[in-house]
Amino acid sequence: MRVGFTPFAVAGAAAVFGLSVSPAFAASGGLGIARANACMGCHAVDRKLVGPSFQQIASRYKADPTAQARLEKKVRDGGSGVWGAIPMPSHPSMSAGDIHTVVTWILAGAPSR
């Protein structure tokens, strides 16, 4: 049996143990986590769909030192009114580690690699 470590597993373990994940590492796993959790149904990396693009989000929050925590809460709990009338649903089944990784990836500019 071969055991490997995926970006998802490492990011989740880091969150459980209170460790941080580097932005470069989060970038490698953020897109995959977004795809696996239906984020891409409403968001695209570089264009508006139902919600803003991940790059638009990164641009809006780039100077906000509280953005990481605010956006993690928004992903977990949902919300409305920031980008228009359509609310963002909550994602209570996403792990804290996956949410952290996705938000870190978004705030890094949502690189596709």
Catalogue all structural domains in the chain, each as residue range(s) with its CATH number: 24-79+88-107 (1.10.760.10)
C-alpha 19/C-alpha 14 separation (Å) is 5
- Distance between CA atoms of 111 and 43, rounded to whole angstroms? 14
| Interatomic CA distance for residues 54 and 46, integer angstroms | 7
Q: What is the pLDDT of residue 36?
A: 94
Q: Is 48 helix (H, G, I), strand (E, B) or coil?
A: strand
- Mind listing the pLDDT tens digit for each residue in 6-62? 454 444 545 555 555 555 555 558 999 999 999 999 999 999 999 999 999 999 999
Model pTM? 0.75
**Confidence class of residue 112 from pLDDT cuts 50, 70 and 90?**
confident
pLDDT above 60 for 93: yes
What is the CA 26 to chain-centroid distance, rounded?
Answer: 9
